[in-house]
Structure 1
Amino acid sequence: MPKTGTGSRPQGRTRPIGPLRPLRPLRWALVALAAFLAVGLLVWRFPRDGAAQQSRGGPGGPPAVTVTTEQAKLGVAPVTLSGIGTVTPLKTVTVKSRVDGELTEVRFKEGQLVKEGDLLARIDPRPFQAQLDQYQGQLAKDQALLDNAKADLVRYQNLVQKDMLAGQTKDTQASLVRQYEGAIRSDKAQIDNAKLQIEYSRITAPVTGRVGFRQLDPGNMVRATDTTGLCVITQVSPISVVFTLPEDQLPAVRERMRAGEKLKVSAFNRTLSQKLAEGTLSTTDNQIDVATGTVKLRAIFANADEALFPNQFVNAVLLLEERKGVVLLPAAAVLRGPRGAHVFVVGQDNTVASRSVVTGMAVGTDLVVESGLAAGEAVVVEGADRLKDGTAVVVKNPGTGAAAKP
């Protein structure tokens, strides 16, 4: 086998050497892809504007939480006492006849509002008129007998002075005069009674109020001993509400009543969704119910519009006092936990801080803050379940289209 030059490959493994493939375009494509990924990573890690940084809660931090806030405010807190009550008329009268007779006329309509003294019905007065005429005739007869007896007594007295008549006859005549005088007084009393019966035949309204259903129709015989009555009149204006309070609350009420204060009472419907009327406290009962531990109170209402109806169930709210200048906070902002009540307060840097508060009575949808919060501070009312101390927030309140600082 002939030898080749130094470094030459065996003849069976030799291949022709041609031009090399160009690798430069592929390499540049890889470099461009790497650069694009690096720029994207930088853009994601470091936002270009402050708004994007804020929405992520700061560089490298968690995303900001969107919340709704309200400001604590100064207001008036009414101190009230509530109790269940019943509308009770001041006067309820069953109208009855005072005489016996036939009911000849009914002058009222069911449900009519009548005034005291209005004519309601008539009973046939003719029997009573006949008695009146009879008693007046008897009076005239007895008066004539009295006049004659007095004249005889004068004559007898003259004869006795002349010793022409015994004194016993004069004394008998004087006694007869006194008998006739007594008869006349009896006749006059019977006349007055007959006139009263005629007056009672006109049944009038004893009080001002609203008439209920009619119990008797014309043509029926009525008697003074009947228990049903002709109708029932209920006074509706003014009207009262009798309600109860726990005995522990009575001293505060009595103290203000002794001081001469006029305590306001509001009557609400069964669900406390509508105020029916406003009145004033009139009095308290003179004893506590030992079975329930409550005391009854009565409030008076003008009820000119008749919003309160007799025997209606109501909720009575007694205004004891008004606390002015207190801090009010939406009840939705208060959270309860092992540490007690606390709220999330939004700072100027749009971060929240948990703060313990002491709350008092409720005023509508707000709570009175006894301590822990000042008026004007913004607290979170929605979105607090995702917050903790230092969490960045974006405030978006109703009516604002974009995020706003508190």
Structure 2
Amino acid sequence: MARFVQTGRPHDSRQKTDRMATSSSSTTPPTNSTPPADSTPPAPRPRHGRRLIYLAGGALAVVLAVAFLRPHTTTTKHARTGDQPVAVATVGKGDMPVILTELGTVVPITNVTVQSRIDGYLMQVLFTEGQHVHKGDLLALIDTRPYEVLLAQYQGQLEQDQAQLAAARVDNARYQRLIRQNSVAAMTAKDQQYKVEQLEGTVKADQALVDNEKLQITYCHILAPVDGRVGIRQVDMGNYITAGQTNGLVILTQMQPISVIFTLPENDIGPVAARLRTGTPLPVDAWDSSNLTHIATGQVSVLDSQIDTSTGTVRMRAIFPNSQEELFPNQFVNARLLVNTDHDVLLVPTNALQTGPNGQFVYVVRADSTVEVRNVKVGHASDSMTVVTDGVKEGERVVTDGVDHLRDGVKVSIPQPGDATATPATGAPQGQKG
């Protein structure tokens, strides 16, 4: 039996690869894999360029970290101490004016629509639009000729009837002498007496017609009824106007003085009425509609006689000299009425007051620089200061700014004015004037 013996030298892997290549060449056309003579392999990229890029990126990262992460000196100080920076003000005593601010409207004391009392053609307009006129100034002239003709007619009728009356009086005197002599019938003398009385009535009627025509001629001259400022002319010269026509001739408004009418809540009537009964003038300041600019100062003239049940308010009128015409009719203003002034009361800045579940409170800074929550009772207030009736004492310091993260017992710091991050602290409140 024949035996096949395998030699000890293993097959070379390269021979196997050569056989596979030969097998492939038997089926695939040969290709020229020899590179061109002029082509050269690409040079390898130097490693030192990558190192430069890495170094530049690292340096940029360090610069940005220093710029954004470097803490401020004072911030580092507060972070080291852990204190909350706040602004404070000292509770002090002063005067607080009791002011009521209500919405008011500028209303002229006198506002007249100048009308014609008669019919006729408008012959002259003797004013300029926007002109200030005085009482009795001639504003316009209506054609007087028709009334002058009637006046002449009535005067002639009057003279005729006066002549008849004079003749009747002479006859009556003669009849009265004759009747005493029994020379004439009593009836004749009595009739003559009645005739005299009848003519006297006729003369009176004629005189009234004459006076009426004189009055019509007077009405042809349209005069200013009050001092004031005329507005825009409603009728031009040459038009035929009638008595009491719509819009009239012009509107005349009294500008000096002028009034402001505003409403007062019924709960505030008592103190105001008490001051008015004593004869004490109540000053009123008029501010613009935005409540930022002071316009004029006047005083209360009258309190209305009844409360409006639909609004629960009562109307008041304040008079302003308006010498420079700062106030204009129908202008909306904020009327600040000074009712009284509270003297020697505790005052705190209004922004120190906080509102919590138990009402209003303040943060009081104790001697060890910790804060204490203190409930307070407040009274009258202005834009910047508030009266405190209970809860704090004079000289105590209250927090006015930086209260967002405060709670009872937190330690705080008060930055000095030279500190870049310091918030200026409010000083001790001073007395205010209304």
TM-score, normalised with respect to structure 1: 0.76
Q: Counterparts of 1:104 and 1:403 in 2: how far apart (Å)?
A: 74
For residue 220 of structure 2, what is the amino acid of its counterpart? S
Q: Does 313-322 or 215-224 show the bigger shift?
A: 313-322
- Is residue 353 from structure 1 mapped to residue 371 from structure 2 by the alignment? yes
Deviations 1:86-135 (A, max 9, x none): 22222221111111111100111112222211111001111212222222
Question: SS in structure 1 opposite 2:308?
Answer: coil
Question: SS in structure 2 opposite 1:322?
Answer: strand
Contact 2:371–2:412 (8 Å) recurs in 1: no
Partner of 2:292: 273
Partner of 1:27: none
Contact 1:244–1:294 (8 Å) recurs in 2: yes
Partner of 1:196: 215
Partner of 1:88: 107
Kindly report which structure 2 residues correspond to 1:46-125, keeping only aligned pairs within 5 A, or say none.
Answer: 62-125=81-144
Q: Percent identity?
A: 44
Kindly report which structure 2 residues correspond to 1:268-307, keeping only aligned pairs within 5 A, or say none.
Answer: 268-307=287-326
- Is residue 251 from structure 1 mapped to residue 274 from structure 2 by the alignment? no
For residue 375 of structure 1, what is the amino acid of its counterpart? E
How far the C-alpha of 1:230 sits from its partner, in A, is: 0.6
Cα 1:394–1:320 shift into 2, 3 Å: closer
- Is residue 211 from structure 1 mapped to residue 234 from structure 2 by the alignment? no
Deviations 1:298-344 (A, max 9, x none): 22222222222111122222222110112222223334445654444
How far the C-alpha of 1:366 sits from its partner, in A, is: 1.9
Residue 311 of structure 1 is aligned with which of 315, 330, 334?
330
For residue 391 of structure 1, what is the amino acid of its counterpart? K
Cα 1:302–1:165 shift into 2, 3 Å: same
Question: SS in structure 2 opposite 1:389?
Answer: coil
| RMSD (Å), alpha carbons | 3.0
Cα 1:264–1:404 shift into 2, 3 Å: closer
Partner of 1:178: 197
Contact 1:64–1:394 (8 Å) recurs in 2: no
Contact 2:283–2:298 (8 Å) recurs in 1: yes
Partner of 1:395: 415
Q: Counterparts of 1:208 and 1:354 in 2: how far apart (Å)?
A: 65
Cα 1:404–1:297 shift into 2, 3 Å: closer
Cα 1:392–1:181 shift into 2, 3 Å: closer
- Is residue 159 from structure 1 mapped to residue 178 from structure 2 by the alignment? yes
Q: Counterparts of 1:198 and 1:348 in 2: how far apart (Å)?
A: 90
Cα 1:366–1:397 shift into 2, 3 Å: farther
Residue 238 of structure 1 is aligned with which of 246, 249, 257?
257
Partner of 1:226: 245
Question: SS in structure 2 opposite 1:69?
Answer: strand
Cα 1:340–1:181 shift into 2, 3 Å: closer
Question: SS in structure 2 opposite 1:153?
Answer: helix
Q: Does 117-126 or 296-305 show the bigger shift?
A: 296-305
Q: Counterparts of 2:268 and 2:127 in 1: how far apart (Å)?
A: 46
Contact 1:67–1:396 (8 Å) recurs in 2: no
Partner of 1:49: none
Cα 1:378–1:185 shift into 2, 3 Å: same
For residue 158 of structure 1, what is the amino acid of its counterpart? R
Cα 1:399–1:360 shift into 2, 3 Å: farther
Question: SS in structure 2 opposite 1:395?
Answer: coil
Deviations 1:147-180 (A, max 9, x none): 2222223333333444443333322222222222
Cα 1:146–1:337 shift into 2, 3 Å: closer
Deviations 1:152-211 (A, max 9, x none): 233333334444433333222222222222222122111111111111110001122221
Contact 1:355–1:372 (8 Å) recurs in 2: no
Contact 1:160–1:170 (8 Å) recurs in 2: yes
Q: How many residues align?
A: 349
Q: Counterparts of 2:148 and 2:422 in 1: how far apart (Å)?
A: 93
Q: Does 390-399 or 114-123 show the bigger shift?
A: 390-399
Q: Counterparts of 1:288 and 1:403 in 2: how far apart (Å)?
A: 49
Contact 2:366–2:372 (8 Å) recurs in 1: no
Cα 1:215–1:340 shift into 2, 3 Å: closer
